[in-house]
Amino acid sequence: MNPTTPSDKSGFKAVLLVDDDRQLVDSLRAAMMDENFLVDVASDGEEAFLKAKVHQYDAIVCDLMMPKLRGDAFYRQATELRPEFAERFLFITGYGNDPEISRFLSTVPARCLLKPFTIQELIDSVRRLVA
């Protein structure tokens, strides 16, 4: 994958899935692959940032509360590196009522799904993001 352009030639869309919940990641990855997404995974924001430095993604599905580097900090670093990522994020969180999380989400153009969500809600949200 070219680091400067999204994966538009193959018809497949490249998604980076970032979450520290391995069971959730495995389920979401399988479901997204069944829908013809190319899915790369990272277990925290640090790993995700390393991947974002060398790969271009059509969408980034990212948990907010993770060890090492939280999703909001990863978002800031990734969009500083590549401003085009700003509108390619879909955050997933179980902390929608947390004031700090709410404040962050109100300041960025990214979308958010609150846990628990259905796999179909996630797939539909990612499709809207890459359309």
pLDDT (0 to 100) of residue 96: 85
pLDDT (0 to 100) of residue 3: 44
pLDDT at position 8 over 60: no
Name the strand (E) or helix (H) holding 122. Answer: helix 119-130
Inside any domain, residue 4: no
Inside any domain, residue 66: yes
Give the range of the structural domain holding residue 90, as residue numbers without chain letter. 13-130
Number of domains in the chain: 1
Q: For 89-125, write each residue's pLDDT tens digit.
A: 999 999 988 999 999 999 999 999 999 999 999 999 9
Omega of the bond leading into 67 within 30 degrees of 0 (cis): no
pLDDT (0 to 100) of residue 5: 46
Inside any domain, residue 39: yes
pLDDT (0 to 100) of residue 80: 97
**116: burial class by Cβ within 10 Å (0-12, 13-18, 19+)?**
exposed
Inside any domain, residue 20: yes
Inside any domain, residue 19: yes
pLDDT band at 76 (very low <50, low <70, confident <90, very high): very high
Q: Show the beta-strand stretches assigned E in 26-84.
A: 37-42, 59-63
Q: For 78-89, write each residue's pLDDT tens digit.
A: 999 999 999 999
Inside any domain, residue 5: no
Inside any domain, residue 57: yes
Give me the CATH number covering residue 95.
3.40.50.2300
Q: For 12-51, write each residue's pLDDT tens digit.
A: 999 999 999 999 999 999 999 999 999 999 999 999 999 9
Average pLDDT estimate for 51-71 = 96
User: How is 85-108 classified by DSSP, letter by letter?
Assistant: GGGSEEEEES-TT-HHHHHHHHTS
Q: Is 38 left (phi over 0), alpha (psi -120 to 50) or beta?
A: beta
